[in-house]
Amino acid sequence: MALILPFISFLIGYLGVNVLKPIRPMMAAILARLLIPLIVIYNMVFYKQGSLWLIGFSIFSSLFLFGLFYVFSRDKLRALCFSYLNGVWLGFPFALALFGPEALNTIVALYIGGSLFGNISAVVAVSPDKQDPKFIVKNMLKSPPVMALTIAGILSFWDFSAYESHPVIQWGYQANKVLVTFAGMCVLGMWLSKVRIQLSDLKQSLVLISGRFILAWVLVAGAYLFLPIPHQVLTYTVMMMYFLLPPAANIVALETHYQGTGHSAKYIASGTVASAILIGVYGGILHLLLPSL
């Protein structure tokens, strides 16, 4: 049942792209600038143990993956596609579909860390010119996850724990999760409907994402051993799923703006298809081995 909403949302976008295309930018903007920040604020105000460590883990993992790929490829753009992942359009819908609302605390923290990394490194990676540090900091401070964290930080001065179970809060939160899944998968469907991917691109993406998933075992094992993140099966299965996500979609927009090219579009498109395949396999195997998830 959990897969019905994302599947239908994807089909609506994929089959109705000609009708929905004019509102696609608006849907993407609402998702990134309103719906996701609201989930971030909710989860940080009603803080769950280990969230800050998960944010730090996500930042460190992104830096590690970027550096490792760049050492071998000397290609900043591809290193960025390997390390800056799509936690907005796909991370939230896939986590909700595979694991339910209990996974949101984990995926929110991982998304925040990955987004902070992306907002700092993306412009540096795609720009041919050296960037002013003031510009980079300003760009980061204006990003939706940082603004959401700032609002949550201000609200944290008061104790709202008594309101977490309030019917209005819970209704709004549940409705927001549905909208996040619908908007994310619908935009994805519209985007993929017009993209043509060669088999060689898909094979390459499958290899790269699988390789990143293998590296993730080492990173997640390190987090399990050395970080005070609660040792809950759900937390670590969501952490592993995060590394199966494709490159962030806004990489191609930045590349086009700074370099006048769009090479990352094929990496993002083929990575998205490969990610959907691998996450489907991952989810199927997990639910066979751990039906309680």
The pLDDT tens digits along the chain (293 residues) read 456 777 888 889 888 888 888 888 888 778 778 887 888 888 778 766 678 899 999 999 999 999 999 999 988 889 999 999 988 778 888 898 889 888 988 998 998 888 888 877 776 776 666 666 777 677 777 777 788 888 888 887 888 877 778 888 889 988 888 888 788 778 778 877 777 788 898 999 999 999 999 999 999 999 999 999 989 999 999 999 999 999 987 787 667 666 766 677 788 889 988 998 999 999 999 989 988 77
How many other CB atoms sit within 10 Å of the CB of residue 67? Answer: 11
CB 112 within 8 A of CB 145: yes
- pLDDT for position 108: 87
Classify 214 as helix, strand or coil: helix
- pLDDT for position 45: 81
The token pair at 287 is: 């639910």
Give the span between the Cα atoms of 197 and 261, in whole angstroms.
18
- pLDDT for position 244: 97
Helix axes 104-126 and 144-155, enclosed angle (nearest 10) = 130
CB 264 within 8 A of CB 255: yes
The token pair at 257 is: 């703006």
- pLDDT for position 262: 64
- Nearest partner of 139 among 255, 254, 57, judged by Cα: 254
- Nearest partner of 38 among 142, 174, 141, 165, judged by Cα: 174
- pLDDT for position 1: 46
Fold held by 20-289: Na+/H+ antiporter like fold (1.20.1530)
Domain borders along the chain are 20-289
Calculate Rg over the CA atoms of the chain: 18
